[in-house]
């Protein structure tokens, strides 16, 4: 269980990392017609962590002190 500050920080960090990796993955896929496995797995992993942190915030699963 993390503090509220860390949950919000993780949402920002992993949200930004997900967006940048997803954009880079899609741009490489459309321009070079290459399927970059590393970028795909990174985007999926960052999105999962982002969603988990969103659920922690929604369900108030954090410490306040």
pTM, 2 dp: 0.85
DSSP codes, 2-62: -BHHHHHHHHHHHHHHHHHHHHHHHHHHHHH----HHHHHHHHHHHHHHHHHHHHHHTT-S
Residue 52 has pLDDT above 80, yes or no: yes
Token pair of 49, please? 């962590």
Banded pLDDT at 1 (limits 50, 70, 90): confident
Residue 65 has pLDDT above 80, yes or no: no
Query: What letter would DSSP give residue 64?
Result: -
Q: What is the pLDDT of residues 27-44, one digit of tens each?
A: 999 999 999 999 999 999
């Amino acid at each position: 269980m993390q503090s509220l500050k860390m949950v919000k920080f993780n949402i920002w960090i992993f949200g930004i990392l997900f967006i940048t990796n997803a954009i880079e993955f899609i741009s490489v896929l459309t321009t070079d017609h290459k399927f970059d496995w590393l970028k795909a797995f990174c985007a999926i992993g960052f999105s999962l962590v982002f969603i988990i942190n969103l659920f922690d915030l929604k369900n108030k699963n954090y410490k306040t002190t």
